[in-house]
Every structure is written in C-alpha cells, then in structure tokens.
C-alpha cells in the first residue's frame, strides 16, 4: 500500500496513524509470538515498525505511552512458568538496502564522535527463536524464551533435551547467561513433518514454527523427540566480562562448548560488511537451515556499552535482511472473508505454487482498492493494473507468513476477463458493507447480527490474550455457535453453558460425539475457572474495534474497576467531562474513544456486554509506577558544547532515565544543561527562571560522575 510521505503528514494525521500502527503491530506481535501463527509477512511487519519509527522521529511529542518502539514481541503464553530476564532480551533494527548499512555505520560513528573506521562482526541471522540459558557455577540452571523481552517462559526442562546445549561448563564465569537461537535443520524438519503426517498429527508450515512448537511443549519428552539445535551469538548477565570484543567473546563461548556460527567474520567498515552479506546470501540455499539476513555488531564491547540501547533495540547492531521470495501462478478465484470487526478481506485462491520452499495456495489481496490498482488515497499502484480472476499473478512471501499477491503480468490476461466487482453487501449476512471516509476497508454493518462477525468475536473472546478458556478454541466455538440444543452466540452464553446443560435432562453434552463424562466436566471447570477475570483481559476480550491488548491495559490501569470503566464509557460523549478524561489517557485517541462509546451505545452490543458482566467477577487492576530516577518526568534541554559525550549520547541517557528531552526552552522546561558556548537558550532559560546546570552537574545529578 502506498502511504502518504511522513514529511507531508499533519499532526492530526500523524497521531491517528501512530494509533493505527500501534494496534496493527500489537496484533501482529500476539499472532507471531504468543500464538505461533503469524498473520502478516515479516516484510509488512518491518514496514509497519519502520513507518511508526519515522513518524515518531518527526513528531516526538506524539510518541505514545504504549509505543511499539518500546516493546519487543508479545506477552508470554500461559502454561509455562515466567522468568523475568535480568538483562532485557532485545530485538534488532532492520536494514534492507546497502545504503542503510552505510547509514548504520555513519550513525554509530556520529553517536560516538568517532572519525576513524569502526570494526563490526557479521554473521547469519538464524530464523528460529531466541533462548537465554543461565549458568551458575558452570551448571545450567534455567532456560527462558524471549517473551516480551522483559519476561519469558521457563523452558528449562525442554532446553535440557537439546544436544547442542551443554549442561555443565568448565572455566565459565560464576554467572553466565548465554543467548542464542534455537532452530531446526531442513532435513530434520522434513523428517519430522513426515513422521507427523504418518501418525495423523499436525504438520508444521516451516522449520521456525516447528522449532517454536517443539520447544514450547509442556511435556519435555516431546521436545526430546524433536531434533532441535542451538547457535550461541550473544549473552545477558555476566559476573565477569567474556572478552573485550564481540568476536573474542563468541570464540570464548565456542571454547566453552557452544555451537557458534562458522560464517561469523570480522569486517572493517560497510564495504567489507556488504561483501560478507553477499557471500552469506550466495550460500543461503545450501546451508541446510533457514537464515533471513545478516547481523552486524560493533566489535569493541566498550563502544557497544557507550552506544547502549534505544527502547527495544541496541544502537550497536543491525539486521540486514534478505529480500523476500517470489513466484508466478494463476489466480483461480477471490473469496471474501468477514472478520471480527466486520472487515471484508479478499483472499486469492491460487493454483498451488512453491515460494521459497513452501507450497502456497492462498494469498492476501488486502482490500478492494488493492485489487483495483489503487492505494487508499486513490493513487496508482502496480501502474494502475487491476487484478482479475484468471490473471497470472506474482506471489510474494517473506519469511514465515501469509503470502501476498504483489503484481500481475498483463501479457497473460485472458480474453473477456472482467474487472473484479467487490461485494457491497456482506456475503455472510447480506447487510450493507460500508467504507468509512479514509478507510480502505469495507465493513459489514451487521454487527452481532452477522454470523461471521459473531463467531469471530467469540473466537477472539476465548483466545489467549482474552479469556483463554482451556478446551474452548476456535473449533469448539464453531461447533457450539451452530448448536441447536446448547447454543453459544454471545460470550455470556459460555458462562451459562453448564447451567443450561444440567437443566436439559435429555441431550447432555457428555453424551455427544467428541465428548464424554470427563471432557464435559473439564470444559465446565475451565469455564468456571475464568469467571473471575482481570479487568484488562475483560476489556480486550470485548473485541471492540481499535481496542487491542495494549489499549485494554491502559484503560484498565486508568479506571481500575469494571464499575468505574463502565460508568465512564456509558457517559462519555464528546463534550462531557467523561469524554475529556477518556481522551486524556496517554495512548487513547479520539478514534478509539469513539469506538468504545459506540460499542456501549449500540443496543445489541450493550445487551451482550451487560449479560456477560453479570456472569463475572472482575478483578481490579493496579496503576503502574514510573521509572525511578532523579530526572524521571522532567523536561530537559541540552545546549552548548558537551565535552564528555555527544549530544545524541546525552539525550539517549536522559531518556533512558525517564526524562523528556526537548529542543528548545519554554515555560515547560524543567532543566537546562548548558555547556560552553551556550547562547540564546541560556538567556531564555534565565528569563523564564528555569534551573540551569553544566555538564558535570548533570552527570552528578544522574549519578554518572
């Protein structure tokens, strides 16, 4: 989709787009990390993150409290114990083009104020899942997945079954956290899928999914039977440093008994990095395991320390991704799926074709404008070529994900092929399907009357981040939704299921096919266990458009109880104090507020919400504390020459401590840090009576002196 250039966005557009991007990224995170079922391609995901970062860079004041730039991955799935990482597990910034690698090197040198060449390591980016291994006194004591970067899943028993992971180490630091990637080789993946298919079990779409599914088994015996491998490439907490450089640290891990990637080399500067990138890319097909790019890291660990981190990625590393894979095939038909919020999504049915080793027969066509050859602002894409059934189309797949139709070849267009007419009515319930101003998506207006929306809403309701009811997944929802004797049409019906079943002497659930005494009782018990639910989960589970997991958390922490939340949303129409309060929540914009208010005013929705609330005990949620530092919450301005660090380094450090760094002095400024040569800003600060200190005073204040 072509988007308006960030430079041209108005502030209001930027605010709205940041909200939209935040939701899209949060949804993609949940699909990928928590559910192991990605919904968008890696390339699309990267594009969302990048646009979000670009808008934030242009409008720093609009950066949201729940900005995706500050988050890594998604919350952990239930079932495993939780492990708080002592050193956060970070993600990597991505580069796609060669000039972005040069820019990365420029940025590093500028940040450090470094004129000469910087050395980097270059190594393959393994397409698996990251794992942190904690050794104390040479013994493996804990293994944890990344989770959201702060808290991961405890998979120690499972990790112990992986042959590449040593159980004991000789000569290691007393505390050593080794980080690396768990992956599955192509040969092992193919054999595993064959065994799975032969025994009638589910097969995996690709080696990454197979590795993730195998590591995250509650029964470690299953993991033991799966051929997982591990490459070490990084570390977390250490009682003593491993070495002075990245390269030597990796050698040290190798000497301790870890597998490290043999394609790791040392490069001086971007040119050598690109040479190694092409070398690795040329070997990609014969490596025997999936990689999706090359990672460059500043070699000198002292420089890494000075460069530090942005909110979720280090400044000293970048992932240079490989381009996506392509193939051509015939478009056999277009189906329209109706989603939870009524969105009509066109899906391409394709003559099956192999794209990067995976057979693809469905791909997304995004929306009606995309099919017609326009972006949502009416500008041409694919030089304006529309997509017709029977066309020869290019399918595009990046990594692990739903493929897309990228282009078409008009030379193969069949005579008499007609432009595709996008339905104006919902194919499921016949209600009119409308497009709102500025929205590229056409939506069914049937709300809960539409069976497709109602059933998708229920599936969302029982999904992991929401009520997560054991034994009640998408499949069971489909079944109960259509059921004549024990129907489940709205969430409240889930909580009356047991009572309705016991009131019906004839057709008991336990006598149904697929159920028995035990499984029926189990289902009733797992439903009962969720009758008491935290407020944030409840809000998220309502499936209100624009209200994702992050927003639900913000709302829950703000209102704290269901009663307060419900009263506020019921009263909040524009102009009321409740509306002002709702939209003042950092991270809640007008669009989300409007969507909440509409849901609570719609009769059918409101009825469903009230009926549900009457069934539940809602646990209040506590507000979260802020960063604890002497400068947290202060607005700071730096001016003049700083002698002990570059401006960028000073700003980054201040922000890490919870301060806001502004470019100019105003009545809102709390502190001016003035070096030699400070001019007009110092005068202005003096005029306004703003507190002024010098660089040493600043370092003392933040405890870095």
Q: Does 181 bind ligand IVH (CB under 6 A)?
A: yes
**How many beta carbons lie within 10 A of that of residue 532, not counting itself?**
10
Backbone angles phi, psi at 329, to 5 degrees: -160, 180
Q: Does 234 bind ligand IVH (CB under 6 A)?
A: yes
- Least Å distance between CB 90 and ligand IVH? 4
Contact set for ligand IVH, span 57-96 (CB under 6 A): 90-92
Catalytic residue numbers, as ranges = 125
**Which alpha helices (DSSP H) does 132-243 contain, by range?**
156-159, 186-198, 207-215, 220-224
- Angle made by CA atoms 578, 582, 587, in degrees to the nearest 5: 175
Number of residues that bind ligand IVH (CB under 6 A): 14
Q: Output DSSP code: residue 413.
A: P
Q: Which of 260, 248, 316 is nearest to 104 (CA)?
A: 316
Contact with ligand IVH (CB under 6 A) among 236, 314, 346, 465: 314
Q: What are the structure tokens assigned to 332, written together?
A: 């056999």
Q: What is the 3-state secondary structure (H, E, C) of 230-295?
A: EEEEEEEEECCCCCCEHHHHHHHHHHCCCCCCCCCEEEECHHHHHHHHHHHHHHHHHCCCCEEEEE
Q: What are the structure tokens assigned to 342, written together?
A: 């009524």
Instruction: With H, G, I as helix, E, B as strand and everything else as coil, classify residue 26.
Output: helix
Q: Does 196 bind ligand IVH (CB under 6 A)?
A: no
Q: Does 317 bind ligand IVH (CB under 6 A)?
A: yes
- Least Å distance between CB 196 and ligand IVH? 25
Q: What are the structure tokens assigned to 615, written together?
A: 């069934």
Q: Does 295 bind ligand IVH (CB under 6 A)?
A: yes
- Least Å distance between CB 125 and ligand IVH? 4
Q: Output DSSP code: residue 116.
A: S
Q: Which residues pair with 245 in a beta bridge?
A: 300
CA distance 353 to 337: 22
- Least Å distance between CB 91 and ligand IVH? 5
Contact set for ligand IVH, span 607-646 (CB under 6 A): none
Asked whether 239 and 175 are in contact (CB, 8 A), the reply is yes
- Least Å distance between CB 131 and ligand IVH? 8
> What is Dmax (Cα atoms) for the chain?
89
- Least Å distance between CB 297 and ligand IVH? 7
Q: Does 153 bind ligand IVH (CB under 6 A)?
A: no
Q: Does 259 bind ligand IVH (CB under 6 A)?
A: no
- Least Å distance between CB 233 and ligand IVH? 4
Which string of b and e fits 333-358 if b means at least 16 CB within 10 Å?
ebebebbbbbbbebbbebeebebbee
- Least Å distance between CB 314 and ligand IVH? 5
- Least Å distance between CB 319 and ligand IVH? 5
Q: Output DSSP code: residue 30.
A: I
Q: Does 31 bind ligand IVH (CB under 6 A)?
A: no
SS3 content of the chain, % helix, strand, coil (to 5): 40, 20, 40
CB-nearest residue to ligand IVH: 130
Label residue 498 left, alpha or beta by phi (over 0 means left) and psi (-120 to 50 means alpha). Answer: alpha
CA distance 72 to 310: 12
Q: What is the 3-state secondary structure (H, E, C) of 37-63?
A: CCCCCHHHHHHHHHHHHHHHHHCHHHC
| Four-point Cα dihedral 155, 156, 162, 165, nearest 10 | 120
Contact set for ligand IVH, span 100-129 (CB under 6 A): 123, 125-126
Backbone angles phi, psi at 636, to 5 degrees: -115, 140
**Which alpha helices (DSSP H) does 59-141 contain, by range?**
98-112
Q: Does 311 bind ligand IVH (CB under 6 A)?
A: no
Label residue 632 left, alpha or beta by phi (over 0 means left) and psi (-120 to 50 means alpha). Answer: beta
> Nearer Cβ to ligand IVH, position 283 or 586?
283
Contact with ligand IVH (CB under 6 A) among 29, 52, 71, 130: 130
- Least Å distance between CB 124 and ligand IVH? 6
> Nearer Cβ to ligand IVH, position 90 or 331?
90
CA distance 306 to 348: 49
Q: Which of 180, 188, 186, 175 is nearest to 259 (CA)?
A: 180
- Least Å distance between CB 50 and ligand IVH? 13
CA distance 611 to 490: 9
* Residue ranges in contact with ligand IVH by CB under 6 A: 90-92, 123, 125-126, 130, 181, 233-234, 295, 314, 317, 319
């Amino acid at each position: 989709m072509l988007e308006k250039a960030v430079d041209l966005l108005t502030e209001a557009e930027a605010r709205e787009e940041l909200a939209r991007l935040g939701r899209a990224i949060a949804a993609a995170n949940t699909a990928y990390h928590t559910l192991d079922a990605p919904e968008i391609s890696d390339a699309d995901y990267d594009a969302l993150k990048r646009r979000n970062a670009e808008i934030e860079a242009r409008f720093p004041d609009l950066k949201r409290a729940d900005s995706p730039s500050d988050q890594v991955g998604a919350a952990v799935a239930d079932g495993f114990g939780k492990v708080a990482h002592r050193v956060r597990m970070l993600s990597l910034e991505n580069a796609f083009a060669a000039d972005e690698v040069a820019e990365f090197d420029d940025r590093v040198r500028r940040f450090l104020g470094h004129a000469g060449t910087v050395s980097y390591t270059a190594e393959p980016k393994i397409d698996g899942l990251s794992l942190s291994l904690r050794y104390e006194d040479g013994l493996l004591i804990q293994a944890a997945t990344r989770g959201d970067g702060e808290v991961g899943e405890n998979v120690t028993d499972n990790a112990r079954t992986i042959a590449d992971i040593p159980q004991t180490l000789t000569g290691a630091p007393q505390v050593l956290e080794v980080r690396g990637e768990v992956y599955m080789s192509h040969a092992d993946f193919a054999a595993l899928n064959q065994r799975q298919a032969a025994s009638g079990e589910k097969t995996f779409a690709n080696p990454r999914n197979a590795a993730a599914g195998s590591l995250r088994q509650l029964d470690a015996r299953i993991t033991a039977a799966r051929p997982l491998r591990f490459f070490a490439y990084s570390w977390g907490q250490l009682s003593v440093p491993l070495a002075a450089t990245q390269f030597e640290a990796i050698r040290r891990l190798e000497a301790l008994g870890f597998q490290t990637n043999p394609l790791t080399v040392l490069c001086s500067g971007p040119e050598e990095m690109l040479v190694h990138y092409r070398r690795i890319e040329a070997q990609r097909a014969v490596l025997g395991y999936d990689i999706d790019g090359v990672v460059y890291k500043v070699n000198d660990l002292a420089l890494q320390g000075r460069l530090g981190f942005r909110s979720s990625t280090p400044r000293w590393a970048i992932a240079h991704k490989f381009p996506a894979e392509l193939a051509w095939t015939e478009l056999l038909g277009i189906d329209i799926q109706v989603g939870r919020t009524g969105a009509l999504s066109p899906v391409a049915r394709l003559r099956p074709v192999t794209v990067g080793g995976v057979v693809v027969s469905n791909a997304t066509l995004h929306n009606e404008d995309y099919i017609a050859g326009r972006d949502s602002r009416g500008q041409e894409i694919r030089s304006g070529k529309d997509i017709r059934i029977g066309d020869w189309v290019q399918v595009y797949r990046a990594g692990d994900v739903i493929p897309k139709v990228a282009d078409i070849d008009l030379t193969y267009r069949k005579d008499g092929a007609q432009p595709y007419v996008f339905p104006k009515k919902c194919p499921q319930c016949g209600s009119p399907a409308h497009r709102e101003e500025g929205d590229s998506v056409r939506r069914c207006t049937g709300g809960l009357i539409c069976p497709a929306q109602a059933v998708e809403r229920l599936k969302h309701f029982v999904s992991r981040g929401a009520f997560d009811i054991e034994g009640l997944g998408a499949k069971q929802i489909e079944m109960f939704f259509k059921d004549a004797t024990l129907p489940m049409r709205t969430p409240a019906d889930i909580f009356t299921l047991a009572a309705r079943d016991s009131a019906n002497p004839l057709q008991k659930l336990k006598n149904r096919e697929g159920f028995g005494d035990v499984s029926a009782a189990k289902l009733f018990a797992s439903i009962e266990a969720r009758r008491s639910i935290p407020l944030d989960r409840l809000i998220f589970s309502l499936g209100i458009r624009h209200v994702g997991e992050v927003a639900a958390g913000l709302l829950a922490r703000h209102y704290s109880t269901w009663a307060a939340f419900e009263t506020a949303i019921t009263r909040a129409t524009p102009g009321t104090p409740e509306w002002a309060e709702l939209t003042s929540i950092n991270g809640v914009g007008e669009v989300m507020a409007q969507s909440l208010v509409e849901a609570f005013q719609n009769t059918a929705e409101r009825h469903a919400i009230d009926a549900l609330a009457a069934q539940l005990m809602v646990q209040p949620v506590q507000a979260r504390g802020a960063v604890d530092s002497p400068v947290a919450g202060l607005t700071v301005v730096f001016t003049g020459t700083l002698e002990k660090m570059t401006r960028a380094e000073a700003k980054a450090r201040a922000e890490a401590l919870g301060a806001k760094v502004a470019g100019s002095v105003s009545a809102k400024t709390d502190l001016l840090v003035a070096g030699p040569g400070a001019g007009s800003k110092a005068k202005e600060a003096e005029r306004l009576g703003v507190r002024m200190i010098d660089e040493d005073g600043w370092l003392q204040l933040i405890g870095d002196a």
